[in-house]
Amino acid sequence: MIIKKTFGVILLLLGLFLAFGLLKDSRLMLFGSKIRADVIGVDSVKNKRFGYVHYPILQFNYKQQQVRLVKDLKSVDPQNVPAHMEIYYAEDIGVSDGFTVTYAIFSIISIIMIIFGIIVIRTKHLF
């Protein structure tokens, strides 16, 4: 019985940990501004595992100021650099792609882990 309860607590904590990690992107989508940013260049960084990683350099206007930043969340192909990117931005939070496939998958996984953790904790005779 104690093993089942421990497994339920571990599932619940892992689900809450994933949900907490997704909180930043959710806050950006709710409170940030959706901006169309121009890609003005590529910043190449030497990586031990992959050789070079190429990050886009974004430039956009936000509250009457021109902002230029390197978006180091995902790499781009230097031969196929997009001209524009849709991003969510807030000064105190950062930059995000918005609702992506990985965001959706990890949201579903965290919800399932939380639900199964609660089920395992609450039931007396599961097996």
- pLDDT, averaged per 10 consecutive residues of the chain (127 residues), comes to 87 92 80 83 76 82 84 72 80 77 88 92 76
Predicted local confidence at residue 126, as pLDDT: 61
Q: How far is CA 85 from CA 36, 96, 111, in A?
A: 6, 11, 29
- For residue 71, give the 3-state DSSP assignment: coil
- Rounded Cα gap, residues 76 and 48, in angstroms: 17
Pairing of strands 65-70, 51-62: antiparallel
- Rounded Cα gap, residues 96 and 28, in angstroms: 7
Find where tokens 């001209």 sit. Answer: 83
- The torsion angles phi and psi of 46, rounded to 5 degrees, stand at -75, 130
Predicted local confidence at residue 62, as pLDDT: 85
